[in-house]
Chains A and B, each alone.
Chain A
Amino acid sequence: MALSVLKPGLATTVQDTGRPGYYNVGIPPSGSLDQYSSLAANLLVGNAEDAAVLECTYMGPELRFDRPATVAVTGADLPPRLGGEPRPVWESFAVEMGDVLSFDFLRSGARAYIAVSGGFDVPVMLGSRSTYALGALGGVGGRALAAGDELPIGDADGAAPGRSVPAALRSTHPKHREIRVMMGLYDHRLTDGGRRAFLDAEWRLTTLADRTGFRYRGAALEFRERVAPFGAGSDPSNIVDAPYPIGSIQIPGGVEPIVLHRDAVSGGGYVMVGTVISADMDDVGQSAPNITTRFVEVDLDGALRARRERADRLEALREAVR
């Protein structure tokens, strides 16, 4: 054991690069919602890219180290303190045996990532240490951290403290975001006005935003009239059950679109009017309640270009922090 949880925070979970390959049997990929920041945290402390980190939502935990380590905090601007003294974000620092890591109030973003040299060494389940709380899988007992938990840390010397991510490669978290989407597969169910309203509206994130999905409010969308096909519910937003990709946007009742994230269910009976491109899913994960969002339509070429740009940025991060 190497780390004791004094206070768990609101929803702090062990996450890594995720558990792909089981969505067909209903087990979602899970993993850090902001993979870029999670990777940065691991690089800063000299961990392997797939080492497990802590994802802290809106609030930081209070942790006591029972051995020396190198630590880094990235993602949301959640200022760390070590023994009450401020520590930087996006920069690794040393902790000594007995040190207590705590956090100030969140300044921007939604999820901070804590990496510790050696990584959090919880059991690997289906190829990943990520917590999928709805399925009680992975992490610490398949759940968020609780006070009194003891977290094992893997053996590693880690990087020397003082590694830093250059300013240009640090994520920022504006109050308004533009999130790129590819429309479909069910946008034909919206009227022309409904489709336009979806792309024109300024959507505001509600408090119903967690690892499963992010629910927004801001407009009511009109659906085309139809006779419900056999197997579909009677609401105009219902379809015959279909698989849901991560990032897909369903709109129950034509109000409150929900962007599904990495702990989502694998299928269901709501239209998906579009899907957030993979390159922008980190930004969704860093959205906190009251953040406004516009969904911007891109085509497949645009989505692939964004994916290449993201891959370049990840490579730049690896180069800069190595």
Chain B
Amino acid sequence: MDIRSPLPGVFYRRPSPESDPFVEPGSPVGPDTVVALVEVMKQFFEVQAGTSGTIATVAVADADMVDAGQILFTVHQS
């Protein structure tokens, strides 16, 4: 199962530069868990996991540009 970006923009793994990442490999997630931010048009959009399980891999580097539909994380489903 993958978590994809719903929109194009800049991918951020943390809520702010000083904060810890939202999730790491091994982190448990539920459908509503916020896993990343995508910034576009000066807005930060919260990406939710949309599924339950544990984060397997982080597919994109922090602050990289992503396209809509691009895989951000892979998830081991529970």
Q: Let me know if B9 and A59 touch, CB within 8 A.
A: no
In the complex, what's the smallest C-beta–C-beta distance from A31 to chain B, in angstroms? 18
Q: Let me know if B7 and A58 touch, CB within 8 A.
A: yes
In the complex, what's the smallest C-beta–C-beta distance from A71 to chain B, in angstroms? 21
Count contacts between A and B, CB distance < 8 Å.
51
Q: Let me know if B7 and A59 touch, CB within 8 A.
A: yes
In the bound complex, CA of A105 to CA of B5 (Å): 8
Chain B contact-residue range equals 10 to 19
Q: Let me know if B45 and A289 touch, CB within 8 A.
A: no
Residue of A nearest to B7 (CB): A58
Residue of B nearest to A59 (CB): B7
Q: Chain A at the B interface: mostly helix, strand, loop or mixed?
A: loop
Q: 8 Å CB contacts to B: which residues of A165-213?
A: 207-210
Q: Let me know if A58 and B69 touch, CB within 8 A.
A: no
Given contacts A58-B7, A289-B8, contact A207 B40 (CB under 8 A): yes
Residue total for A at the interface (Cβ-Cβ under 8 A): 15
Q: Let me know if B7 and A10 touch, CB within 8 A.
A: yes
Q: 8 Å CB contacts to A: which residues of B28-69?
A: 39-43, 45, 65, 67-69
In the bound complex, CA of A106 to CA of B9 (Å): 12
Given contacts A59-B6, A289-B9, contact A106 B68 (CB under 8 A): yes
* B10 at the A interface (CB under 8 A): yes
In the bound complex, CA of A57 to CA of B43 (Å): 12
- Give the residue of B6, B7, B39, B68 whose beta carbon is less than 8 angstroms from that of A107: B68
Interface residues of A (CB under 8 A from B): 10-11, 57-59, 105-107, 207-210, 288-290
Interface residues of B (CB under 8 A from A): 4-10, 39-43, 45, 65, 67-69
The 10 closest A-B pairs by CB, nearest first: A106-B68, A105-B69, A58-B7, A210-B41, A207-B40, A105-B68, A289-B8, A288-B8, A59-B7, A207-B9
